[in-house]
């Protein structure tokens, strides 16, 4: 996680109305030079200022389309801002309002660990391995995949990307999220026996040589600390309380949770499914709480609640608040760029290859395991 210096004290003194007013004035001052992107997991306080909202895939595509803007202020987490820097034209500056807004899942795969894993797996696999990384990973991991014939994927197109990968080689190393890898491969018809978990903290991933030879999918031992909180018991509890609920979960949830769900969807898929459902529908949703609460507010003719009783909140995303947004914008108005996210050209070049392969498989797909 990067270090975010404390903001000047004046930002703590502004009232909520002053913060709103000042952000609006900065936006007006910067006009077409500025685009603010907001991830769906952001708080409404921040989302209200976003020119575009979306999940990782949609925001990557929107970032790539920014030709006129000088500044893209990314209200998301660090890996998303890196992707935006890679995909935007040279000269577009990408700013992350709080540098400590990282992603625990992305932090679970370090490039040195991947290089070591790759050497061991390629040596022992006995056939071609294609590395696929979820976009929730560092630019260095993406670049590794681009350099070694692999690609990125999102929760929305993981199936298409895995199908492509298996047309390029016999085996897949999927990182950093073991759950998205397992849920997608299982929905494609592969058995759990064909998947092994590679633990980067253990010698040879903690796997015996014959398991490495036999397995088709090497799933990195990583997860989302938010979606990991949902349990199969949560689903049982909802059914016990009221079996009128349909349970819909994000594929970052564990396999056991996905098996109990009525349907599975990426972030955009969840939004679409709730929006298009009939009035009176009841949804228990396994994803980040800000999105669940927003859906509940926007669809008052339906019942929308979290699948879990505990608050499943992305705490790093939550670090981006109005104060940090304002501080970034006021610096831009004053002609200074703070918290610019810059990916070095070599990393950027190979990461772009992996991202381009992902975007070429970006069309919507059915949910992985309904
Ligand atoms: S919800 Fe999970 S995967 Fe998404 S940014 Fe937060 S920690 Fe990372």
pLDDT value at residue 328: 98
Is pLDDT at 311 greater than 90 in this prediction? Answer: no
Closest CA to 96 of 86, 81, 83, 106: 81
Residue range 280-301: mean pLDDT, rounded:
97
**Domain carrying residue 256:** 227-306
314 C-alpha to center of ligand 1: Å?
A: 6
Q: Give the rounded distance of the alpha carbon of 154 from its chain centre.
A: 7
Domains in the chain, number? 3
Distance (Å, whole) CA 198 – CA 323 = 41
Using most ligand atoms within 8 A of CB, pick from 38, 96, 317 the residue to mutate for ligand 1: 317
246 and 147 fall within a common domain: no
pLDDT (mean) for 13-20: 98
Burial of 142-176, coded b for 16+ CB within 10 Å and e otherwise, reads: bbbbbbbbbbbbbbbbbbbbbebbbeebebbbbbb
What pTM was estimated for this model as a whole? 0.94
Q: Residue 320 Cα, ligand 1 centroid: separation in angstroms?
A: 14
84 and 146 both lie in a single domain = no
Residue 90 and residue 22 share a domain: yes
Assess whether 215 and 355 both reside in one domain.
yes
CA 141 from chain centre, in angstroms, equals 14
Question: Does the pLDDT value for residue 26 go beyond 90?
Answer: yes
Residues 70 and 154 in one domain: no
CATH of the domain at 250: 3.40.50.10800
pLDDT confidence band for 362 (50 / 70 / 90) = low
Strand, coil or helix: what is 233?
Answer: helix
- 60 located within any domain: yes
Same domain, 178 and 239: no
More confident position, 48 or 368: 48
How many angstroms separate the alpha carbon of residue 279 from the centre of ligand 1? 30
CA 18 to ligand 1 center in whole angstroms:
30
**Span 165-184, average pLDDT:** 98
Residues 83 and 113 both lie in one domain: no
Q: Give the number of the atom of ligand 1 that is nearest the alpha carbon of residue 224.
A: 2
Same domain, 213 and 355: yes
Mean pLDDT computed over every residue of the chain: 94
Atom of ligand 1 nearest to the CA of 316: 6
pLDDT digits (tens, 9 = 90+) for 96-120: 999 999 999 999 999 999 999 999 9
Residue nearest (by alpha carbon) to ligand 1 atom 2: 224
Say whether both 182 and 48 belong to one domain.
Answer: no
Ligand 1 test: best mutation among 39, 77, 181, most atoms within 8 Å of CB? 77
Do 79 and 172 lie in a common domain?
no
The reply to whether 339 falls in a domain is no
In a domain, 365, yes or no: no
Mutate to test the pocket of ligand 1, among 152, 225, 292 (most ligand atoms within 8 A of CB): 225
Average pLDDT over residues 12-37: 97
């Amino acid at each position: 996680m990067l270090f975010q210096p404390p903001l000047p004290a004046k930002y703590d003194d502004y009232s909520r109305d002053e913060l709103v007013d000042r952000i609006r004035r900065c936006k007006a001052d910067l006009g077409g030079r500025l685009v603010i992107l907001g991830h769906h997991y952001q708080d409404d306080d921040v989302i209200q200022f976003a020119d575009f909202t979306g999940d990782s895939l949609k925001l990557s595509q929107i970032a790539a389309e920014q030709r006129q803007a000088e500044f893209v202020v990314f209200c998301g987490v660090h890996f998303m801002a890196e992707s935006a820097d890679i995909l935007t034209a040279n000269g577009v500056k990408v700013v992350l309002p709080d540098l400590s807004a990282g992603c625990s899942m992305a932090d679970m795969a370090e490039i040195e660990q991947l290089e070591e894993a790759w050497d061991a797996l390629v040596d022992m696999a006995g056939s071609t391995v294609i590395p696929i990384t979820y976009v929730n990973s560092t630019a260095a991991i993406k670049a590794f995949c681009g350099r070694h014939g692999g690609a990125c994927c999102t929760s929305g197109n993981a199936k298409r990307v895995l199908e492509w990968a298996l047309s390029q080689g016999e085996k897949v190393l999927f990182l950093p999220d073991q759950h998205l890898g397992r849920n997608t491969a299982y929905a494609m018809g592969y058995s759990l026996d064909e998947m092994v978990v590679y633990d980067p903290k253990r010698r040879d991933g903690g796997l015996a040589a014959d398991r490495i030879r036999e397995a088709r999918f090497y799933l990195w031992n990583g997860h989302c600390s938010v979606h990991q909180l949902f349990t199969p018991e949560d689903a049982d509890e909802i059914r016990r309380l009221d079996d009128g609920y349909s349970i819909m979960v994000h594929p970052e949830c564990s396999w056991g949770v996905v098996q109990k769900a009525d349907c599975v969807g990426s972030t955009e898929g969840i939004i679409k499914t709730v929006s298009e459902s009939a009035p009176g529908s009841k949804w228990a949703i396994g994803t980040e709480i800000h999105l669940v609460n927003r859906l509940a507010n926007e669809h008052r003719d339906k019942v929308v609640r979290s699948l879990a009783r505990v608050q499943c909140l992305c705490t790093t995303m939550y670090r981006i608040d109005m104060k940090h947004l304002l501080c970034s914008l006021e610096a831009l108005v004053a002609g200074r760029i703070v918290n610019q996210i810059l990916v070095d050209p070599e990393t950027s070049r190979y990461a772009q290859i992996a991202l381009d392969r992902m975007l070429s498989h970006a069309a919507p797909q059915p949910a992985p395991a309904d």
